Amino acid sequence: MGPEQQPGAPAERKGALWPHLSLLRNKVYPSCLDPSSSCPTQTPPRAVWCLCSGPTDVVTLTWPPGFCLPEAALWPSSSWPPLCFSQAGLMENGLVHHCVPRPWGTWWHLTGVRGGGGLVDLPEGVPVSTSHLTCLSSGHIPVPSQGPQDIDSLPPYLRPLRVLAYRFQFPRTYPRRGGAASKLLIHSPLPLKFRSHLPGTGAKMKTPAPVHAWDIVLVLLSLLLAILQTTTAQKNGINIYSLTVDSKVSSRFAHTVVTSRVVNRANTVQEATFQMELPKKAFITNFSMIIDGVTYPGNIKEKSVAQKKYSAAVSRGESAGLVQATGRKTEKFQVSVSVAPAAKVTFELVYEELLSRRLGAYELLLQIHPQQLVKHLQMDVHIFEPQGISFLETESTFMTNELAKALTTFQNQTKAHIQFKPTLSQQQISPEQQDTVLNGNFIIRYDVNRTSSGGSIQIENGYFVHYFAPEGLSTLSKNVIFVIDKSGSMSGRKIQQTQEALLKILDDLRPYDQFNLISFSGEATQWKPQLVPASAENVKEAKSYVAGIQAQGGTNINDAMLMAVQLLERANREELLPARSVTLIVLLTDGDPTVGETNPSRIQKNVQEAIDGQYSLFCLGFGFDVSYAFLEKLALDNGGLARRIYEDSDSALQLQDFYQEVANPLLTSVAFEYPSNAVEAVTQDHFRLFFKGSELVVAGKLRDQSPDILSARVRGQLNLEDITFVTESSVAEQEEAFRSPKYIFHSFMERLWAYLTIQQLLEQIKQTQERLLRSCSLWNSFHERQNVQNNRRQWCRPCPF
């Protein structure tokens, strides 16, 4: 905001900047906006702002008596821009009333939010102090805040907001109200829309109230759009003139570099946003920005320190960036940067991932979402697979006939190159529209040739990776229990898609499989008292049961899971589970536990103790709001995995695809063995199950004086017998194979080994932390009970675990 926009200037206050509010001004009682007011003369005000960092219940504003009501705005930290603005009347001691939420949407009282904040203009003579804005916890204890700061230090998204307070008396015709109140104006360079509301006090007015008795709510639609759409050139002058994606895949390990070059074509400092959707298990290995020819590498800092440094740079008018990880498991990588007029900024993001094999194919997913036409847009994917590429296909969610002309694919026995380079005209939705059609994912799927040994060992620079995916094995019989959430939150489309998927899944069961169904809401109900074979008659009856499920009630996950385990235990005691068969529990839910045992840690403990390593648990979380971390830990503790099912038109297909991944177990108790004189260290080398269409991966480090031939044995169990696979690989030949492709990045095998090691350590940490938390919870509960029994109150001893 420039000096000429300061709301403290009398000329502006009486000028024609807001002529549409002149009638309102004439109706209000004297205030600081009126020269005839008894308030002291003010020079252009300063501003302070406070950002609470703790769980905030109330944000209060204190104000010394004798001064006019300040300009102010509050917001809950969970929602920016502010949802609303308001001020309440002053008490004699200068404390602002806490205005609880009203039907017309104004509040001072911020309940149940983490953080919060406020913006206040200070008249001349009022000292700058943090006491003007105070963040209080639910116990009315002050919590840390950031501030006060001068107006120039405000982030750019706060600068357009200037709140002017009008103070007047409600007329007697106003129902059940009186005393001081205030009206708000927002200084913004953008057009504002107004909506008037009669406060909902429960009483009706016999005659209409004058216009000045109505609350005016400023609906900042234009301002919201301006703040949220900072990546679009048409909105704020930020133009992406180059966007390139370069991905190199060597032996399933992908190294991807995304480079975006932008220029600020506006006459003022603008904020640009670089945003990238990343695969779930990708690791960011580097991020840097090039500003005015100088490279600034990304650094990891504590988030409050990073925010402070960013705000300070912006206040000085400098280009600065702030990296934020949002969404599911850092799936969204986002950087906001302040760009000076005519300045150019280059963003470069590097991430790596190991491509997983699912349903017989590896999948590389790249997001293309520039939100504007880009003069130079190019994507290159190079693939090198020493085993040979058996098939290769591409798919995208935005491909048109014109865009298909920009796609070229080259493939030989071991290499492939996919290039996508659309022109400006090919990117357009139509010749009449300047919007881009590029908005979605570009997917590359491929598989490799297999040998009779089922495995391939690849070696580079002293490290190796062993891929194992044998073919031609018979599917093991399985015992599966589907545990289905039918609580009220599953009503509508969710339960319909669940039913649709289950009807098709039941058709895929083989006659020698056994199954059962458990549905639960507040209580759990089993379809049959025991497992039944997947005969045509039983499948037909199960379909009728599934079709009749209705969603209502709470969510009792604990009882449903224990019922499933008890059903399997009874079948095991009665020797109804075939020898060497595979037993699975598949849980599908969309919510947190709300009935029965609701403590996630105790549910995890109960389920793990009940399963006791005998069965595998797979958890499907339906929707974005599901407690995915809880389901993931539940699955990891019990030899399975978790998957999020996204609410979309293809939710039923997502369920079916997941089931297909685990529907065909081929081996159990799989163990990898390497000679101790050749291998120094390996990643996880024991696996409970191997499923058709998947792949087991072990990486390791060779000893300095390793043999010329690296051999490995993989042992597993089939239906009726044990089986051993033997794979051998020449160290010298493998080293040469990975030295020849000039476009493959160096030392990738070591990075792959590190990648797998870190991933597995993270999973172990999750499980270890959960066990420690459960132990501490039990420890504290024990001492709480002891204190109650002894009729005394004391602090619990610290948890020793």
What is the distance between the alpha carbons of residues 709 and 679, in angstroms, rounded to a whole number? 12
Contact between 169 and 29 (Cβ < 8 Å)? yes
| Per-chain mean pLDDT for the chain | 69
Q: Is the pTM of this model over 0.75?
A: no
Domain edges within the chain: 3-227, 230-448, 455-471+667-752, 478-663
The DSSP letter of residue 283 is E
Residue bearing the bigger pLDDT, 650 or 639? 639
pLDDT number for residue 496:
86
What pLDDT does 135 receive? Answer: 46
Place of tokens 């790249």: 366
CA distance 381 to 697: 23
Which tens digit of pLDDT belongs to each residue from 579-600? 889 999 999 988 788 899 989 8
CATH of domain 478-663: 3.40.50.410
Q: How far is CA 397 from CA 275, 327, 394, 400, 710, in A?
A: 19, 21, 11, 9, 43
User: Is it the case that residue 222 has pLDDT exceeding 70?
Assistant: no
3-state SS, 88-119, equals CCECCCCEECCCCCCCCCCCCCCCCEEEEEEE
CATH number assigned to the domain with residue range 455-471+667-752, chosen from the 4 options 1.10.3470, 2.60.40, 3.40.50, 2.40.50: 2.60.40
What pLDDT is recorded for position 768?
Answer: 62
Q: Is the pLDDT of residue 171 over 60?
A: no
Confidence of residue 192 (pLDDT cuts 50, 70, 90): very low
Q: What pLDDT, in 10s, does the model give residues 762-786?
A: 777 666 655 555 555 544 554 455 4
In this predicted structure, the answer to whether residue 60 has a pLDDT above a threshold of 60 is: no
Mean pLDDT of 315-328: 51
Position 616 confidence tier, pLDDT thresholds 50, 70, 90: very high
CA-to-CA distance for 711 and 730, rounded, in angstroms? 9
In the chain, the amino acid numbered 416 is A
Residue 792, token pair as written in the block: 């005394």
Question: What pLDDT, on the 0 to 100 scale, is given for residue 249?
Answer: 92
| Among the ranges given (330-344, 558-572, 670-684, 724-738), the one the predictor scored with the smallest mean pLDDT | 330-344
Q: Where does residue 557 rank: exposed (0-12), middle (13-18), buried (19+ CB within 10 A)?
A: buried
Query: Taking 90 as the threshold, does the pLDDT of residue 707 lie above it?
Result: no
Q: What pLDDT is recorded for position 84?
A: 30
Where would I find the H helices in 651-747? 651-662, 731-739
Residue 644 has a pLDDT of 81
DSSP 3-state helix, strand, coil percentages of the chain (rounded to 5)? Answer: 25, 35, 40
pLDDT tens digit string along 1-31? 333 333 333 323 222 222 222 222 222 222 3
> Which pLDDT does position 313 carry in this prediction?
64
Kindly state the average pLDDT of the residues 214-218: 24
Distance CA 501, CA 478 (A): 19
Q: What's the pLDDT at 771?
A: 53
Of the candidate CATH numbers 3.90.350, 3.40.1000, 2.60.40, 3.40.50, the domain formed by 230-448 belongs to: 2.60.40
pLDDT-derived band at 397, boundaries 50, 70, 90:
confident
CA–CA separation, 485 vs 622, rounded Å? 10
Strand order in the sheet with 270-277: 270-277, 332-339, 321-326
pLDDT in tens, 654-669: 888 888 888 899 999 9
pLDDT value at 518 more than 90: yes
Using 50, 70 and 90 to split pLDDT, how confident is the model at 233?
very low
Question: How many other β-carbons are positioned within 10 Å of the β-carbon of residue 681?
Answer: 12
> Are both 455-471+667-752 and 478-663 of the same fold?
no
Average pLDDT for residues 624-644, to the nearest whole number? 84
Q: Measured in whole angstroms, how far is the alpha carbon of residue 634 from the centre of its chain?
A: 20
**DSSP secondary structure code for residue 69 in this structure:** P
Whole-number percent of the chain with pLDDT over 90: 27
Residue of 737 and 87 predicted with greater confidence: 737
Whether the pLDDT of residue 118 is over 60: the answer is: no
Tell me: pLDDT of 78 over 70. Answer: no
Q: What is the mean pLDDT of residues 474-497?
A: 90
Segment 258-273 shows an average pLDDT of 87
Cβ atoms within 10 Å, residue 641:
16
- Higher-confidence position of 26 and 419: 419
Give the tokens for residue 781.
């509960």
Peptide bond into 189 cis (omega under 30): no
Sequence-distant (6+) residues with CB within 8 A of 214 are 196, 197, 198
